[in-house]
Amino acid sequence: MRVNQRLMTCILCPNGCELSVQWEGEPSAEAMTVEGNLCPKGISYAVDELTHPQRTLTTSVRVRHGTQRLTSVKTATPVPRESVVAVRTALLQIVLDAPVHLGDVVLPNAAGTGVSVVVTRAVPRQENQAMS
């Protein structure tokens, strides 16, 4: 059976360990050998990255009648990597009305992942702006 190898940098702590991961067959926690980690987090990072990679999506959505035209948002928890494009596409359709508050849910159950997208920067309403 062929031995697979992947090099990666762990991002779970400030050490940024350069990991070397080897496995035979399908990647699984039992089949992997991880080297180069300075703490146990490196092992869990490598296993998660190769068996079910996830990402926290951060982006912006449009705001009407606010002091800013955009507000920053992020997924409340990481979503499966294969869902990132679908979540981003759904967010492109959203336009919020000011005021927007920190923690407001912009998109519940984003792309069927069960994860909400929340506001990470408040935008007050523009007081001097005519309603359009």
Q: Which CATH architecture has domain 58-119?
A: Roll (3.10)
Other Cβ atoms less than 10 A from the Cβ of 118: the count is 17
Segment 60-90, tens digit of pLDDT: 999 999 999 999 999 999 999 999 999 999 9
Q: Give the Cα separation of 30 and 38 in Å (integer).
A: 20
Q: Give the Cα separation of 131 and 103 in Å (integer).
A: 25
Chain centroid to Cα 110, Å, comes to: 12
The alpha-carbon radius of gyration of the chain (Å, integer) is 20
Q: How confident is the model at residue 129 (pLDDT cuts 50, 70, 90)?
A: low
pTM of the model: 0.80
Kindly give the pairing relationship between strand 54-55 and strand 79-80. Answer: antiparallel
The domain limits of the chain are 3-52, 58-119
